[in-house]
Amino acid sequence: MAPIRLAIVGVGKIARDQHLPSIAGNPAFTLVAAVSRHDPQIEGVPSFASLDELFASDVKVDAIALCTPPQVRYELAAKALLRGCHVFLEKPPGATLSEVEALRALADEHRVTLFASWHSRFAAGVAPARAWLTERDIRKVQIIWREDVRVWHPGQAWIWEPEGLGVFDPGINALSIATHILPRPFFLTAATLSVPANRAAPIAADLTFTDGAGTPITMDLDWRQTGPQSWDIIVETDAGTLRLARGGADLFLPDSTHSDGDVEYAGLYAHFASLVAAGQSDVDVAPLRHVADANLRGTRISVEAFED
């Protein structure tokens, strides 16, 4: 089979750090174009200022990877799907749930692949954690996701806008793991969102969830962490405690440890290639639904202004 001719749309930090190396390392893809309103220069690859400009050119494209902020993603994804292109959506898949559902319907109508990616699900410890938990009685879950926004998201104004998610931008990674590894669906019961006086999106959040069995699940998100960063999920079971650390890269079980390097985006692109080959889509909105629920049900409190 010929390689999938892929264009990358949005050439920022995540594209350069993760997408480009993963594309280069997967023979199922060949990078044929880059699209960015700013400086999309990638050596040896044609560059375009807009998706319209790319589609008006003679460059043949089978698929696009959308790495733009979520606020502008619907229009771009819809345009690509209407042209018969397969679409890889960086997380979160859209600014709203309704947008993503509309894109899913559009992909089905035009018989192309839509992949709403959740990179943290492909961290090394996640699959074995999911397998281990299927046979356990889960008693308590703690999610602790604390990092320094100035280190990980410096100067990214879009992230503080209403559709930018704020602290839920990293927090949705934790939710993507939790919704994947826990055997029962869970739902929000209460939330407190701490919003800086000069911002629209939260800088911290405390959430409580439960499931059909009454399991207590808590989530502590904070972008004001300094020093050591925390990306941990702790699950207490009848057979001992499971802990995922470093965002799922390290798994600690009562009798074993699983750890590996940065394999998330390689796994995403392998999955995308398999979906295209099979003529299927993968559009799971469960993590985004929990964020929407937090904004719907949560109590917003004003905290001190935040400046980069």
**49: Cβ contacts below 8 Å, ≥ 6 apart:** 35, 36, 37, 40
The single-letter code of the amino acid at 251 is: L
3-state class (DSSP) for residue 247: helix
Of the residues 13, 60, 79, 91, only one is catalytic, namely 91
Dihedral-angle region of residue 98 (phi above 0 means left; psi in -120 to 50 means alpha; beta otherwise): alpha
Determine whether 91 is an active site residue. yes
Residues with active-site annotation: 91
